[in-house]
Amino acid sequence: MKTNLLNTRAKATVYAEVLLGAARVRNNVFDVAGQLDQLVAAVRGSIELRKALIDKTIPAAAKKGIVAEIFSSFAPELLTTFDVMVDRGDLSLLPRVRDTYVALAEKALGAAFVDVTTVVPLDETLREQIVTKYSAQLGRKVMLREYVDPGLIGGIVLSAHGKRIDASVSSQLESARHVLSKTV
Amino acid sequence: MAEITASSIDAVLRKQLDAINTSVESREVGIVSQVGDGIARIDGLKGAMAGELLEFLGEGNKLVYGLAQNLEEDEVGAVLMGDVTAIKENDQVRTTGRIVEVPSGEGFLGRVVNPLGEPIDGKGAIKADGYRPVEFRAPGVVERQGVNEPVQTGLLAIDAMIPIGRGQRELIIGDRQTGKTAIAIDTIINSRGKDLICIYVAIGQKASTVASVVETLERFDAMEYTIIVSATASDTAPLQYIAPMAGVAMGEHFIYNGINGGPASADNPGRHVLCIYDDLSKQAVAYRQMSLTLRRPPGREAYPGDVFYLHSRLLERAVKLSKENGSGSITALPVIETQAGDVSAYIPTNVISITDGQIFLQSDLFFQGQRPAVNVGISVSRVGGDAQIKAMKQVAGSLRLDLAAYRELQAFAQFGSDLDKATQDQLNRGARMTELLKQARYVPMPVEEQVVSIFAGNEGFLDDIPVTSVLRFREEMLQYMRASQEGLLKTIIDEKKLSDELKEQLKEAIASFKIMFAADE
Amino acid sequence: MKLRITSVARISVPVAAALMAMPAVAFAAEEGSSGIDLIFPTMSEFIPMLIAFIILWVILAKFGWPAFIGMVDKRAATIKDSLEKAETAKQESERILAERNAELAAAKKDATEIIANAKQQAEFVKADIVASAQTEAETIIAKARLAIENEKKAAIADLQASAADMTIAVAKRVIGTDLSTAEHKTIIQRYIAEAGSFNEN
């Protein structure tokens, strides 16, 4: 496990910096941040994938092929970095690389990344409204990553920096159900 | 009692939906990165506090609570309480800003709850008077006073020689099947009408055992002043781990809040609480499991290094509060199960050193028919003597030494056959006194009857009665005293000591009973 | 007293016999030895006999009587003694009898007392049993009532929970299908305006 905290920290920073450099060249810094998030979730969510990637009996080329196939839509610089990480057995560093990358990227772009989830796609006015409100709040330019999830039923969920504002109808209904079944 | 009507549901819905719009605030959210063995590792949650309550949003919006334990640089190790299987990787985790709290109040009396304070007896929701933190710093020196009131167990052997005071911590230790729980249950049953709220915390026991305890307490009308906190063997280790703390937290509600509901003070006295942790060895095992799965380094017997601190901070919460703080008290009766009488194992030595004394139960005594199987030689109570009533001190003062001398003589007398008269007398007296201390389950004896019983033995009324008839003599004598010498018993309680005059009257009464007893034979 | 008289009589028997013998001697000397004379001794026989008699009398008076009288006196004393003893024994036995009687009465009294005591105790015990049975019955009834009440509460809670679940499910369905995109956007707009800040905590 993590025998040397400083060492891991340094390693993660190296990966993040390299990735950021490559993404800047391709002018892709913001998108890579989102893809990195999805990559972390995917690796976390699937034991099979994790197992395959740390399995020493599977040749590096095969692992590369698996990664390329699953994450075909991702930016090539991200996939290359990820392949190196898999090769060197640094898979467990992924969440730390993501955090470091996001921090570096936000600094580089002078912006804050905000995830927005809604039931229907945002239109310009709504986008404008969100950006205005949260730019003022965070004191930085806000860049939105938009997701659509019908499971919300209605309303909006915003998240940034590990914090979340949940103004969705589904969670409100859930709390209403809680209250209804508990109060007599 | 509101009826459920369409309009009431509608009203609640509207209220909720309206309220939510203005109350949506940002909350810190993390993601479960790994889950298993009742442990979750969480990405994010940089602001989580140690011991903070976490909300896990599982499948189908199922809410599962967890306890933040390991705070690392980029992840948090948390233990899950409740339905572990509902949580998967990538599930959301929210901080709550609260440490774990349990509800408590009058409504909990007579109920069976889990360590989170949720009812598990099928009797419906419980109305809480307030919430208490599960981890709470024990009161300091100035907030306390010395132990000065007794907890009557109703057991002659214990009340006479190993007295327990309110606010004391008295360990009940012994092998399995030696009657540890029986002592605890008898104490609860005997606390009826003594202004003592009992909290029985069952940790890692079979659910059927807990059910039979509940059934017994109900049969003796003891449930109405008792709360049962149950974390059975099938509950997760974290639930078993917090169960004793949850129990004492429920008790703290009663000592820090006075009778009128407000904070306890000199004018608004707090209540008295008895907490029984049955048993702490299982809690230590649950904590060990939790710690090992959290990858904390193991120590002696693979217990984590802070298992001593775990028990000491739990037992330190037993308290007798000072007058200004309402004079409430929490008495702790931890139970420890030993393996083959080995008290030098890690957990037994720890708890023995923390508590103010121990009641040592031995299986050989148990099988000899000496029940309760208390070994009075090595059982002690370091502070309870101050809480004994004077009458009991008067009659029981020498009992302990006499019995010790008897045991010594008994061992010695096995070798020689010719004994002088004095030795013979001492052996006779000892055998009868030992017999006198036997007591069946669920028949607690009020203190005044205990005093009379020991008094009868001390004054030699038993010396010419066959050992096999001693118990019958005791029962019938007490029955006689209750029926025709009620005044004497009452005087003992009122005066709390035996004056010379009272002693004479007692002797007379016992003698007059003895005539009848002899006639019976 | 009577004995004493008897002993005196006994002593006087030989004296009387001696006195009676003297006229008989005189009479025999007058008549000679015909028919009746055979009865009377002849003077020649009489004189030595008298002398022998007197000698015997003297010897007896000197040595026999005192011994005899002493013996008789001793016997009288013994008899008197045993009489007295019998008297005191009788008195003693009467006293003891009285005592025994008293004790018997006391024992009887004690026994009745003990029986009364036992009866009273039994009465107490009986009252106790009856009372405890009564309270037990009452508690059983109370417990049964409580159990019923609890069942009712549990049932209501159950019903409430399922009602709540159903309500929410329906609400979800209704909101999910009924809202148009435009309406969704309005809601979003409103929520954005009302939602809190990331900075707060």
B313-354, pLDDT tens digit by residue?
A: 999 999 999 999 999 999 999 999 999 999 999 999 999 999
Chains with at least 3 CB pairs less than 8 angstroms from chain B: A, C
Closest partner CB to C196 (pick from B26, B218, B479): B26
Strand A111-118 versus strand A155-160 pairing type: antiparallel
**Is residue C145 situated within a structural domain?**
no
Query: What tokens appear for C46 in the block?
Result: 């009489």
Lowest mean pLDDT among A135-144, B130-139, B176-185: A135-144
pLDDT at B61: 77
Tell me the chain A residues in contact with residue C196 when contact means C-beta distances shorter than 8 Å. 165
Strand B75-81 versus strand B63-71 pairing type: antiparallel
B227 in Cβ contact with B198 (< 8 Å): yes
Interface test with A, best of B9, B41, B43 (most A CBs within 10 A): B43
HSE-CB at C67 with a 13 A cutoff on CA atoms is: 6
Residue A162 CB partners (closer than 8 Å, separation 6+): B28, B29, B30, B44, B45, B46
Q: Do C154 and B123 touch (CB under 8 A)?
A: yes
Question: Are residues C164 and C113 both part of a single domain?
Answer: no
pLDDT at B17: 59
Closest partner CB to B28 (pick from A162, A178, A179): A162
Q: Do B123 and C120 touch (CB under 8 A)?
A: no
A7-63 residue pLDDT tens: 888 899 999 999 999 999 988 889 899 899 899 989 988 888 988 888 888 888 888
pLDDT at B416: 62
B22-38 residue pLDDT tens: 457 778 899 999 898 88
Using the 3D structure, point to which of C86, C118, C150 is the last residue of a domain: C118
Question: Are residues C90 and C172 both part of a single domain?
Answer: no
- Token match 């209904």: residue? A173
Using the 3D structure, point to which of C118, C143, C171 is the last residue of a domain: C118
- Orientation of helix B346-354 relative to helix B307-315, angle to 10°: 30
Q: Do C163 and B515 touch (CB under 8 A)?
A: no
Tell me the chain A residues in contact with residue B27 when contact means C-beta distances shorter than 8 Å. 163-166
* CB proximity C114 to B under 8 Å: yes
Tell me the chain B residues in contact with residue C117 when contact means C-beta distances shorter than 8 Å. 484, 516
C129-148 residue pLDDT tens: 999 999 989 988 988 898 88
Chains with at least 3 CB pairs less than 8 angstroms from chain C: A, B
B484/B54 Cα distance (integer angstroms): 63
Amino acid at C187: I
Question: Per-residue b/e over B80-98, b at no fewer than 16 CB within 10 Å?
Answer: bbbebebbebebbbbbbee
**Is residue C89 situated within a structural domain?**
yes
A22/A31 Cα distance (integer angstroms): 12
Tell me the chain C residues in contact with residue A156 when contact means C-beta distances shorter than 8 Å. 188, 191-192, 195
Q: Do C124 and B123 touch (CB under 8 A)?
A: no
- Residue B519 pLDDT greater than 60, yes or no: no
Interface test with A, best of B62, B89, B91, B92 (most A CBs within 10 A): B89
B202-241 residue pLDDT tens: 999 999 999 999 999 998 989 999 999 999 999 989 999 9
Q: How confident is the model at residue C5 (pLDDT cuts 50, 70, 90)?
A: very low
Q: How confident is the model at residue B453 (pLDDT cuts 50, 70, 90)?
A: very high
C172-182 residue pLDDT tens: 887 777 778 88
* CB proximity C154 to B under 8 Å: yes
Question: Are residues C93 and C186 both part of a single domain?
Answer: no
* CB proximity C171 to A under 8 Å: yes
* CB proximity B55 to A under 8 Å: no
B158-171 residue pLDDT tens: 999 999 999 999 99
Question: Are residues C32 and C113 both part of a single domain?
Answer: yes
Tell me the chain B residues in contact with residue A178 when contact means C-beta distances shorter than 8 Å. 63
A163 in Cβ contact with A149 (< 8 Å): no
Q: Do A180 and B9 touch (CB under 8 A)?
A: yes
Tell me the chain C residues in contact with residue A122 when contact means C-beta distances shorter than 8 Å. 188
Chains with at least 3 CB pairs less than 8 angstroms from chain A: B, C
Tell me the chain B residues in contact with residue C164 when contact means C-beta distances shorter than 8 Å. 9
pLDDT at B108: 95
* CB proximity C82 to B under 8 Å: no
Question: Are residues C173 and C111 both part of a single domain?
Answer: no
Q: DSSP assignment of chain A, as one string?
A: --S-HHHHHHHHHHHHHHHHHHHHHTT-HHHHHHHHHHHHHHHHH-HHHHHHHH-TTS-HHHHHHHHHHHTTTS-HHHHHHHHHHHHTT-GGGHHHHHHHHHHHHHHHHTEEEEEEEESS---HHHHHHHHHHHHHHHTSEEEEEEEE-GGG-SEEEEEETTEEEEEEHHHHHHHHHHHHHH--
Q: Do C159 and B123 touch (CB under 8 A)?
A: no
Q: Do A5 and B73 touch (CB under 8 A)?
A: yes
Q: Do B75 and A44 touch (CB under 8 A)?
A: no
Interface test with C, best of B14, B25, B96, B443 (most C CBs within 10 A): B25
Question: Are residues C12 and C103 both part of a single domain?
Answer: yes
* CB proximity C181 to A under 8 Å: yes
B505/B513 Cα distance (integer angstroms): 12
Domain count across chain C: 2
Closest partner CB to C172 (pick from A118, A173, A184): A173
**Is residue C74 situated within a structural domain?**
yes
Distance from CA of C126 to the nearest CA of A (A): 47
- Token match 């008269």: residue? B421
DSSP state of B40: E
**Is residue C147 situated within a structural domain?**
no
Average pLDDT rounded to a whole number, residues B460-488: 88
Question: Are residues C112 and C181 both part of a single domain?
Answer: no
- Please give the model's pTM, rounded to 2 decimal places: 0.78
**Is residue C40 situated within a structural domain?**
yes
Lowest mean pLDDT among B4-13, B295-304, C102-111: B4-13
Tell me the chain B residues in contact with residue C125 when contact means C-beta distances shorter than 8 Å. 479, 483
DSSP lists the bridge partners of residue B70 as B77
Please give the positions of B annotated as active site.
382
* CB proximity B43 to A under 8 Å: yes
**Is residue C127 situated within a structural domain?**
no
* CB proximity C125 to B under 8 Å: yes
Q: Which domains does chain A have, with CATH numbers?
A: 4-106 (1.10.520.20), 110-182 (no CATH)
Question: Are residues C103 and C171 both part of a single domain?
Answer: no
pLDDT at C1: 43
> Which residue has better confidence, B14 or B323?
B323
- Residue B1 pLDDT greater than 50, yes or no: no
Which residues 102-141 on chain B approach chain A with CB closer than 8 angstroms? 125
Using the 3D structure, point to which of C53, C87, C118 is the last residue of a domain: C118
Distance from CA of C167 to the nearest CA of B (A): 8
Q: Do B28 and C201 touch (CB under 8 A)?
A: yes
B422 in Cβ contact with B166 (< 8 Å): no
Q: How many CB atoms lie within 10 A of CB A70?
A: 15
B348-381 residue pLDDT tens: 999 999 999 999 999 999 999 999 999 988 899 9
B282/B286 Cα distance (integer angstroms): 6
Tell me the chain B residues in contact with residue A44 when contact means C-beta distances shorter than 8 Å. 31, 33-34, 43, 89-90
From residue B238, give the alpha-carbon distance in Å to each of A174, B230, B429. Answer: 27, 13, 52
Distance from CA of C185 to the nearest CA of B (A): 15
Question: Are residues C27 and C81 both part of a single domain?
Answer: yes
A119-159 residue pLDDT tens: 888 888 889 988 988 888 888 888 998 989 888 888 888 88
Closest partner CB to A180 (pick from B12, B61, B74): B12
Q: Do C154 and B28 touch (CB under 8 A)?
A: no
Q: Do C195 and A169 touch (CB under 8 A)?
A: no
pLDDT at A3: 58
Closest CA to B251 of B165, B332, B351: B332
Q: How confident is the model at residue B112 (pLDDT cuts 50, 70, 90)?
A: very high
Q: How confident is the model at residue B6 (pLDDT cuts 50, 70, 90)?
A: low
Question: Are residues C108 and C169 both part of a single domain?
Answer: no
Helices (H), B146-206: 156-161, 180-190
pLDDT at C83: 94
Tell me the chain B residues in contact with residue A170 when contact means C-beta distances shorter than 8 Å. 61
Distance from CA of B286 to the nearest CA of C (A): 32
> Which residue has better confidence, B139 or C2?
B139
B338/B475 Cα distance (integer angstroms): 34
Interface test with A, best of B3, B10, B26 (most A CBs within 10 A): B26
Tell me the chain B residues in contact with residue C200 when contact means C-beta distances shorter than 8 Å. 25-26
Lowest mean pLDDT among A72-76, A172-176, B52-56, B168-172: A172-176
Q: Scanning every residue of chain A, which has its alpha carbon at the shortest distance from the alpha carbon of C196?
A: A165
Question: Are residues C101 and C11 both part of a single domain?
Answer: yes
Distance from CA of A24 to the nearest CA of B (A): 26
A31/A145 Cα distance (integer angstroms): 9
- Token match 């327990």: residue? B164
Q: How confident is the model at residue C2 (pLDDT cuts 50, 70, 90)?
A: very low
A-B CB pairs within 8 A amount to 68
**Is residue C125 situated within a structural domain?**
no
What was the ipTM of the complex prediction? 0.85
Tell me the chain B residues in contact with residue C159 when contact means C-beta distances shorter than 8 Å. 4
Distance from CA of C192 to the nearest CA of A (A): 7
Q: Scanning every residue of chain A, which has its alpha carbon at the shortest distance from the alpha carbon of C192?
A: A130
pLDDT at A159: 87
B443/B189 Cα distance (integer angstroms): 9
**Is residue C52 situated within a structural domain?**
yes
Which domain, by its residues, includes C190?
A: 160-195
Q: How many CB atoms lie within 10 A of CB B314?
A: 24
Question: Are residues C84 and C168 both part of a single domain?
Answer: no
